[in-house]
Structure 1
Amino acid sequence: MKKTSVRTRVLTGTVAAAALAAATVGAVSASADTAETPAVAAAAVKADTQNKNLAQTTGLTIEAATRAAQATLDAATKAGQHVSVAVVDRDGVTRVLLKGDGAGPQSPESAQRKAFTAVSWNAPTSELAKRLAQAPNLKDIPGTLFLGGGAPVQSKGAPVAGIGVAGAPSGDLDEQFAQAGVEALSK
């Protein structure tokens, strides 16, 4: 009979131990599905809902964000303007981006930055642009654009989203179209 080396015996033992461990984990996992599990899960959910460390936020649904963006684009199209529209959530994350037919290549990014700026400061970007005279460093904040065309969407005075428009010949027109999107949410 041939003798096996120590190395071979160690490897064989390790493989056998790993197989045994895998079988044990599988058996424990399979037996975890008992009548007691739903009660434990319900208790965990109850504990989470009462946790004072959780924060709840209000935001637009994707349907509402899309409706606002389309109303904004429709207002611009009716006025004969070729724009891009962005709707961002409270954290500045883009939820909807529409690049209208004929809108310039720079307009989608500008619309996103205007929307981000409006929601970040809970103010129309035309008002924020006026603040640059007192605080010129504001323009250095990444992701912002202090030009007219951004409008915040509010719930009980708090910002929940921002609408940004870019591509019209003036920021005043861009902002007028953004306001049309905000107004569409109240209908």
Structure 2
Amino acid sequence: MQQISKRARVLTGGAALVALGAGAFGAVSANAAPPAAVPAAAVKADAKNKNTTTSTHLTIDAATKAAEAVLDAAAKENQRVSVAVVDRNGNTIVTLRGDGAGPQS
């Protein structure tokens, strides 16, 4: 049987340590504490104008308003950005590309 060179053994051991470290880092990251809960009613309810709805999903109107608010804030900071609003599953609800924003933004 052929002997493995010392250099190959060192490289193999180093690669194994890197893989082990990456796995440990991933396990620690996966067990991180969830973010603090966001209040369910961020908008003040107004029964007179009938803007009270019970939903567990973000509406298109609310997502559009949020995206436009971000574009306005970015414009005040002289930043050119694109905004994507997603639901809790990561599905895109609204995408807006600001004036002058490049395709990479």
* TM-score of the pair, normalised by structure 1: 0.26
1 or 2 for the larger relative contact order (CA 8 Å, sep ≥6)?
Answer: 1
* TM-score of the pair, normalised by structure 2: 0.46
Name the larger-Rg structure. 1
